[in-house]
Amino acid sequence: MPIPVQVRVAAVRKKLAPLLENENYPGALQAIQDEIKSGLQEKTLTEEYVASLNGTIFQGEAMQKKGSFAVAGKLFQNALVAFPRDTELTSRAALVPEQLMANIDICAQELMDDGLIAYRAGNLNQAIDIWKQILSFHPQFGPAKTATETAERQLENLRSMDEGKDQDGQK
């Protein structure tokens, strides 16, 4: 026998309450998404959905202002992936998907620039780490893919050259 909707909604709200109280908006947003995937309607949790979505967006904006672009990019990506389809909910969102994507692009470009600075300074591992942060929230960002592949090839070539040297540093 299926659980009545009211009982299920009450259980979900009980699960969401501490997440929202502790400002774990991405966690609440994910929990809501899980419930929607299992059949709950978006509008069933309108207030919680809007609070979670906007809280995630506002945290992303705060991180972006602080220069924490990897964290901001992930928060914006979370909001974009969880963006509602219902027009009542979308009308209450702090940003629309195009604005979220623009912020994701800004975060990716800022990190791309940081990676290039590390790369030009000869810090290949650091550059690769930075570019992989981009790919964690913007996997289709071509410049980061290309730069990562190039730097990894260069590191591999450097390792191969080092292995070819003998104990005195001679070939």
Average pLDDT, the chain: 94
Indicate the SS3 state at residue 1.
coil
Contact 78, 30 (CB under 8 A): yes
Dig out the tokens for 70 from the structure.
């990897």
The model carries a pTM of 0.89
Closest CA to 74 of 23, 19, 134: 134
Q: Which range of residues forms the domain containing residue 157?
A: 97-164
pLDDT reported for residue 4: 84
Does 56 lie in the same domain as 34?
yes
pLDDT digits (tens, 9 = 90+) for 48-101: 999 999 999 999 999 999 999 999 999 999 999 999 999 999 999 999 999 999
Dig out the tokens for 10 from the structure.
């009450």
Does 123 lie in the same domain as 78?
no
Does 141 lie in the same domain as 66?
no
pLDDT reported for residue 85: 95
Q: Considering only residues 161 and 146, tell me which one the structure prediction assigns the higher pLDDT.
A: 146
User: Look-up: residue for tokens 């904006």?
Assistant: 61
Q: Write phi, then psi, for 96 (nearest 5 degrees).
A: -95, 165
Determine the Cα–Cα distance for residues 30 and 52; give it in Å rounded to an integer: 9
Question: What is the number of structural domains in the chain?
Answer: 2
Q: Write phi, then psi, for 117 (nearest 5 degrees).
A: -60, -45
Indicate the SS3 state at residue 5.
helix
Does 7 lie in the same domain as 65?
yes
Contact 78, 28 (CB under 8 A): no
pLDDT reported for residue 171: 52
Does 90 lie in the same domain as 45?
yes
Q: Write phi, then psi, for 85 (nearest 5 degrees).
A: -95, -25
Does 113 lie in the same domain as 89?
no
